[in-house]
Structure 1
Amino acid sequence: MADAAGPHLTITTDCNTMNSHRLPTCNYRIDRPVDDSYFCRHRAVRAAGRIVGSAICAACELHSQTCGDPIEPPSPTSTAENSSLSDIRKQLPQLVTIGITAFRRPEALRRFVASIRRYYPTIPIIIGDNGDQPVEFDDEHLVSLALPFDCGISAARNAIVANFETPYLLITEDDFEFTSETLIERFVDVLDQDPTIGAVGGSLEIESQRCDFAGDFELFRRELFVRQPARWPRHTSRETHYQIVDLVFNFVLARRELLEDHLWDERLKICEHVEYFYSVWRAANWRVAVCRSVTCIHHQDRSNDYNPYRFRQNLRQLTRLWLDHHHLDSIKITRARSLEFKLTGPPNILLFGVGHSGTSIVTRMIQDLGWHAEGKPGDLDEEFAEHIPIRDLNTKLIRHGEFDDQVAKNILTTLPRPWVIKDPRFVHTMTAWMECFADYQPLLVWLVRDVESVKQSFRRRQRVPQAEPISRGMTIDELMRQAEAIYKAWPWRKLRIQFENIGEATQRFCPERAFRNDSRDFTNGSSGLSKPMTNDETQPPTGGLIFPKSLFDGE
């Protein structure tokens, strides 16, 4: 733990130092313990995520240093549930700083600051100006940072992050303009509603048309897709409507904690937008939301002083730089016609079936085609192709009737997309998971096998050749009926596959690879099948894996 916490930290084992009542005063730590843990703002001290134990705080050598008076993030009761949006608006100067990146557009910057003051007279403003045309403001609540010329938008944002002091930072650009619909209090309302959301973005009005850039990431092998968001809209107790997404415009309110966890790559003077939110998505420690009702004008001002730097000749090289950094081959941005869920790309898959129905081998097939079954290293049981933390949650629910939906949601956020999950216990526990799956709307693939074959397999495993097999208190016939009821009630896309009809495809699958405990590398395009795949169903190949249309009962 000492190595993870940073080079300045020495951990002692003296039990007395672990007493939270004897911890030294610290300008970095928020002295509001939860289970003997604290939030620490210091990057060198933070051991894992944002929470550290009291032993780390007691042994820390940095507590005597000062970094200004720390400002606590709002607690869940800082904007009481029975308060109104107008009450939140009154608190905005203590909660929010507006950060503006500026470059060679002085008139646009003056217009933007004037519009802010029209609606928010005393809210703090920090300008990160990396141009050579400084603008003077007579404003006691405004700070302008003089940055090196053309250091880039990423460096300017990092400089703003290093200087703001409120719990939240509103990220903007100099050619924006606030209107009566720029209701920052709705952003705060969303963050106050859900502590797992680290940033919430809005809409931009461009040429009198309101638009948003909200999207979901999907990672298939080494290709990144940005697709129309598919998760259900939500609302706060104050009727602020929002949606969980992966990507939003650079008009976004972010928590201090998220910004401390994720800074911008300063090599990217431009082309930083998608890369930043992709980094947040892959880290899986914060969620992002969009609140489309909050909007501001984006003028997209251009000039001879500005254009040569905005439309650089090395745009392709900058994009290639961050793609290579994340080991990606390409990025494709596609947009569906509506918010309706569409199976336009590789879907997340929930492989479903009674035990001994062949779900393990089919899960391995899907893995070898590029789907992810493991979130963190060690999460996957290679023998049964089951995600261990998910299996443990299901087992606990079956044995003790206990289910922690927040833990379940956190597990799902760690899975890179597209993912595949398999656990026969879902036949018993699916109802408890439905709210967790609502954000992902996975494709349900129900693998059905002849009942007598399933019974024979159970008898061999249980070594009771003549008895009626019992699995977790239910007969096989009862399990089959329950699985069918779940399949019929499934609200999203679903497929039914008959196990006996994939025998030929199973024989074409390489069994040695399927059962070998090795790491799979999809970066070279290999699927792990005995021969390359083909889409020609009229002329079956001599090898490979084919699922003819006749195998599926799709809905």
Structure 2
Amino acid sequence: MPTFEWGTAFDNRSQIIRLSDRRDAGHTREDADMFFGKQAPDVRDITVLIKTFQRPKTVNGAIKKIRQFYPDIRILVADDSQVPTAIADDKTEVHYLPFDTGLSKGRNHLLEQVETEFFLLMDDDHFFCRGTHLDRMRDILKNHDFDILSGLVFERSKSKRDFYRKRLIDFYLNIKLEDGTLEFCDGFHEKTDEFVTCDLVHNFFLARTEPVRSIGGWDDQLKIAEHADFFIRAKVAGMKVGYTPHIRVDHVHLKEERFSTNYMAFRKRMPEFRSIWIEKHGIKQVVRRDGSVMSSREFIEQKGW
């Protein structure tokens, strides 16, 4: 695993860490045995939630990595692909939803099925690794009264000669919404050796089930572009959100699925759904992380989340 100073994690928000060996950066069962001392931690109080759409190889790869490190954890998958996704892991509970049900409604459907105190939300392209310590993540969350806690995300992509390029995506923000102005700002409310408190983190996080249910989960209207809306509502509800660099997951793009026409066509609808929550919150202008100001219309039409 790449090493870095705590300050590096916080000060360099998007940084190339290293080039790995000439091989897939996956890990073996022997790795897990060595790492967990021959037995995976007890995570029976955590349920994993994955919403997937049009990416069968990706989601099966993600599930395989979870099972490598946590063979008995409960995994729930919501799939609204045009052709239902065959899940190779027979322990995973798959909920097939009508085509293009949407990300938010799919997540809410899974949230209804959760019976544990905590759930782990992840995208279908998040791959577990030796740094994905769910037990430590849970301990930090419980010991410091977080409702939501995220961690490090490493973006993996192939470069020349089949090397893997790893980029640290150190992502946490504060949010201010006043008088029709939404401001995304770098920084934190509190910082310790283990965590920072903030307002918005990755869509890879451990959460207490009941507080998320109490805000209605995600807005069913938002088939995509749900991210900022969820955390705005979480902040309004007084939920405590945090980030720790001591937990890690890999973000892996399989190009043949990530950039396929039957996937990207639906990703391009971002402005349509972004406009819904912009109007809902009465937002007239947005201040970006770099301090630049844009109208709500400019924000709606921009690329990205």
Shorter chain as denominator, the TM-score bin is 0.7 to 0.9
- What residue number does 1:146 align with? 96
Question: Which residue, out of 298, 302, 315, partners 2:251?
Answer: 298
Cα deviation for residue 199 of structure 1 reads 0.6
- Say whether residues 1:283 and 2:241 are aligned partners: no
Match of 1:323 in 2: 278
Q: Does residue 264 of the first structure (1) align with residue 264 of the second (2)?
A: no
Query: Superposition pairs for residues 408-487 of structure 1, below 5 Å?
Result: none
CA displacement 1:236-275 (0-9 Å, x = unmatched): xxxxx11101000000111111221121111110110010
3-state SS, counterpart of residue 136 of structure 1: coil
Q: Select the structure with the greater relative contact order (CA < 8 A; seq sep ≥ 6).
A: 2
8 Å Cα contact 2:65/2:127 also seen in 1: yes
Where do 5+ consecutive residues of structure 1 fail to align? 1-84, 236-240, 336-343, 346-555
Aligned-pair identity in percent equals: 26
In the alignment, the residues of structure 1 paired with residue 152 and residue 169 of structure 2 have an alpha-carbon distance, to the nearest angstrom, of 6
1:192 alignment counterpart: 142
* Among 251, 257, 264, the residue aligned to 1:307: 264
Contact 2:188 2:196 in 1 (8 A): no
Q: CA deviation at 1:332?
A: 2.9
- Following TM superposition, by how much is the alpha carbon of 1:140 offset from its aligned partner in structure 2, in angstroms? 4.9
Q: Matches of 2:190 and 2:151 in 1, distance apart?
A: 17
- 1:222 matched to which residue of 2? 180
Alpha-carbon distance in structure 1 between the residues aligned to 2:94 and 2:74:
11
- Whether contact under 8 Å (1:212, 1:248) holds in the other structure is no
Q: Residues of 1 paired with 2:102 and 2:88: CA distance?
A: 26
2:62 is the alignment partner of 1:112: yes
For 1:90, give the aligned amino acid: P
Matches of 1:210 and 1:105, distance apart in 2: 24
- Determine the structure 2 residue equivalent to 1:161: 111
One-letter code aligned to 2:174: D
Contact 2:41 2:135 in 1 (8 A): no
Aligned CA distance change for structure 1 residues 116 and 212 (closer, same or farther; 3 Å): same
Contact (CA 8 Å) 1:224, 1:328: kept in 2 or not?
A: yes
SS of match in other structure, 1:328? coil
- Once the two structures are overlaid, the 10-residue window that deviates more, 206-215 or 101-110, is 206-215
Task: State which of 167, 189, 192 in structure 2 corresponds to 1:209.
Answer: 167
**3-state DSSP class of the match of 2:172?**
coil
Distance 2:109 2:151 in 1: 23
SS of corresponding position for 1:306: helix
Does the C-alpha gap of structure 1 residues 206 and 90 become closer, same or farther in structure 2, counting only changes over 3 Å? Answer: closer
Cα shift readout 1:456-483 (whole Å, capped 9, x = no counterpart):
xxxxxxxxxxxxxxxxxxxxxxxxxxxx
1:500-537 CA distance string (max 9 Å, x none) = xxxxxxxxxxxxxxxxxxxxxxxxxxxxxxxxxxxxxx
The aligned amino acid for 1:324 is E
Q: Indicate whether 1:178 and 2:138 are aligned.
A: no
Q: Tell me the SS of whatever aligns to 1:108.
A: helix
Structure of larger gyration radius? 1
Moved more, 317-326 or 171-180: 317-326
* Code of the aligned partner of 2:126: F
Does the aligned pair in 2 maintain the 1:323–1:330 contact within 8 Å? Answer: no
Distance 1:139 1:320 in 2: 38
8 Å Cα contact 1:106-1:133 kept in structure 2: no
- TM-superposition CA deviations, 1:5-35 (whole Å, max 9, x none): xxxxxxxxxxxxxxxxxxxxxxxxxxxxxxx
SS of structure 2 residue aligned to 1:126 = strand
The count of corresponding residues between Structure 1 and Structure 2 is 242
SS at the partner of 1:319? Answer: helix
CA distance in 2, matches of 1:198, 1:253: 8
For 1:205, the aligned partner's letter is F
Residues 185 and 89 from structure 1, CA distance in 2 versus in 1: closer, same or farther, beyond 3 angstroms? Answer: farther
State the shift of 1:89 in Å: 5.8
Asked if the contact 1:97/1:164 (under 8 Å) is kept, the reply is: yes
8 A contact 1:153–1:269 mirrored in 2:
yes
Secondary structure of the structure 1 residue equivalent to 2:195: strand
CA distance, structure 2, for counterparts of residue 316 and residue 138 of structure 1:
35
* 1:202 and 1:294 in contact (8 A); partners too: yes
- Relative to its length, the structure with more strand (as a share) is 2
Structure 1's 310 and 317: CA in aligned 2 closer, same or farther, altered over 3 A? closer
Deviation at 1:212, TM superposition (A): 2.6
The aligned amino acid for 2:187 is P
- What is aligned with 2:42? 91
Quote the residue 2:227 is aligned against: 273
The partner residue of 1:333 within 277, 283, 288 is 288
Instruction: Report the Cα distance in structure 2 between the residues aligned to 1:111 and 1:153, rounded to whole angstroms.
Output: 19
- Counterpart of 2:50 in structure 1 is 100
The CA RMSD over aligned residues, in Å, is 2.1
